[in-house]
Amino acid sequence: MVFSKTLDKYPDLKIIVHHFGGIVPMLEGASARLDQIGARTSDEDYAALRKSLKKRPIDYFKQDFYADSAVFGGEGATIAGKMFYPLEKIVFASDCPFDPEGPMYIRETLRLIEKMDGQRRARAGVLQDLERITGSVRE
C-alpha cells in the first residue's frame, strides 16, 4: 500500500492493521533500509519510486495506519505497539471470541490498556474505538 502510492492518492483512506501492526513496530530500527530502496538494484527504478513518495516509507506506517490492540494479552507486543503508533492511531480490539477461555483476551487487553502510564485520557481514546475513526455513532 505504501509503495503503490495508494495512501498518497487516497489520503482519507482509513486502514486498520491487526495485532498492533504485527512485526512493523519491531522493525522500526531497520526502516532506514526502506529509505535506501533502489540504491542496490538495477532491474527496476525503485529509487525513482521512493523519491516520488510524499514522505518516508516508515512515516506512512506511523501516520496513515491505525493499529488494533489485539495481541492475545502480550504485554511486550502492547508496549512496542504503544511506543510505535501515536495514541490516536490505536484502536481497541481483543480477538474474542477466538480465545480458549471466552473473555480472557478482552480482560487481558483491557488490563494492558489500564496500564497505559496512568493516562486516563489515553485509555479513553483507545476505548473510543471505531466511532472515533469512522465518525459513526450508534444510538
Per-position b or e across 71-96, b if 16+ CB within 10 A of its CB: bebbeebbebbbebbeeebbbbbbbe
Asked if residue 25 has a cis previous peptide bond (ω within 30° of 0), the answer is: no
Whole-Å CA distances, 35 to 24, 27, 52, 62, 81: 15, 13, 12, 15, 22
| pLDDT one-digit tens code per residue, 85-122 | 988 888 888 776 676 776 777 888 888 877 766 566 56
pLDDT tens across 10-26, in order? 998 989 998 998 888 88
- CB-based burial label for 30 (10 Å; 0-12, 13-18, 19+): exposed
